[in-house]
Amino acid sequence: MGNTKIAFFDIDGTLWNFHNEIPESTGRAIKALRENGHLAFLNTGRSRGFVTSEPLFNLGFDGVVSGCGTMIECAGVEKREDGTYGIKEERGVTGVSYREEDVIFYHRLDNELLREVLEVIRPLGFKPILEGRDYLYFDIEDFANDPYGQAINRQLGKRRLPIRENAGLWEASKLSCDTAGADIEAGYRYLELNFQNLIHNEKVVESVPHGFSKGSGIRKVCELFKIPLSDTIAFGDSVNDLDMLETAGIGVAMGNGTDAAKQAADYVTTDMFDDGIWNACEALGLI
């Protein structure tokens, strides 16, 4: 792929704020870097069932790494005889949209493991959300008094399915839990047998299968496309981006990011709404 670089973008705090507002200069930067022959990928901890924003995808991404590296999709690809992939020259400017043929990697959790997990953590007070490529599974009664859970339910619509009514039919690659009032220590000890626990706060834990992360997603993309890690750039802002920032050839922290992200990065750009993405892309020669 010659001098083609791949830029990987976190979503929250990097591409948009908590009101889902995207800086105009960010859209221009992504369009320009793609016109210059580079590739733009989303790289998010959210499972694909929770990444459906039309304004986000209208920015024009070539691919998506979702679910902390458990799923990878890419538009305009062709599979080589050796099992690796290449980008078609006529890939266009609209970018990836969720189609079965765009999915080039997916790690699905075994349903027997999920059944066991639910049997262990629920009596400990954990309220689970199973996160998959098409749906998120959670029982709405678990979040009856939780404004955030209710908001997610409204946002998901038909993409939210109940856990109990779909027993054994789940399709998920990771899970997260509301741990308010739960026996956290016992639950974490059990989950650590099969998952890495990303503890957001005392009420929320995200559990990702061992070996998967935003960084592993970057490595897998490089493996599938035979691209050296040195030709990758990652943009992030928070603690859950550290692995991605450290894995990529160049890690870029947003000016509005955490101190930990800035310390892990090779380059610190300006704030998101102070043309942070544009300024970094310009400084790094992508545009």
What's the chain's Rg over C-alpha atoms? 19
Q: Which tens digit of pLDDT belongs to each residue from 89-105?
A: 665 545 565 577 789 99
Q: Reply yes or no on whether the pLDDT at 115 is more than 80.
A: yes
Please give the mean pLDDT across all residues of the chain: 92
CATH second-level architecture of 111-209?
2-Layer Sandwich (3.30)
- Give 133-188 pLDDT, tens digit per residue: 999 999 999 998 888 788 888 889 999 999 999 999 999 999 999 999 999 999 99
Q: What band does 1 get if pLDDT is binned at 50, 70 and 90? A: very low
Q: So where are the chain's domains?
A: 6-107+212-283, 111-209
* DSSP state letter for 37: T
Kindly state the average pLDDT of the residues 254-276. 98
Residue 95 confidence (pLDDT): 56
- Do 66 and 106 meet the contact criterion of CB atoms below 8 Å apart? no
Percent of the chain at pLDDT > 90 equals 78
Token pair of 4 as six digits? 């083609």
pLDDT score, position 98: 56
Check if CATH label 3.40.50.1000 holds for domain 6-107+212-283.
yes
| Angle, alpha carbons 51-57-62 (nearest 5°) | 105
- What is the reported pLDDT for 287? 96
Residue of 215, 228, 216, 220 lying closest to 5 (CA atoms) = 228
Whole-structure pTM value: 0.92
71-97 CB burial, b ≥16 within 10 A, e <16: bbbbbbbeeeeeeebebeeebeeebbe
Q: How far apart are CA 38 and CA 50, in angstroms?
A: 26
**How far is it, in rounded angstroms, from Cα 79 to Cα 98?**
18
> What does the alpha-carbon distance between residue 200 and residue 65 come to, in Å, rounded to a whole number?
20
- pLDDT(121) > 60: yes
User: 263 near 248, Cβ under 8 Å?
Assistant: no
Written as one string, the DSSP assignment of 167-231 is TT----SEEEEE-TTS-HHHHHHHHTTTEEEEEEETTEEEEEETT-SHHHHHHHHHHHHT--GGG
- Summarize the confidence of residues 56-77 as an average pLDDT: 91
DSSP element (H, E) containing 78: strand 77-79
Confidence label for 21 from pLDDT (cuts 50, 70 and 90): very high
Residue 2 has pLDDT above 80, yes or no: no
- The predicted-structure confidence for 214-239, as pLDDT tens digits, reads as follows 999 999 999 999 999 999 999 999 98
Residue 148 CA to residue 145 CA, distance in Å, equals 9
- Can you tell me the distance from the alpha carbon of 257 to that of 259, in angstroms, rounded to the nearest whole number? 7
* Mean predicted confidence (pLDDT) in 236-253: 96
Question: Contact at 8 Å (CB) between 96 and 63?
Answer: yes
| Average confidence (pLDDT) over 99-124 | 94
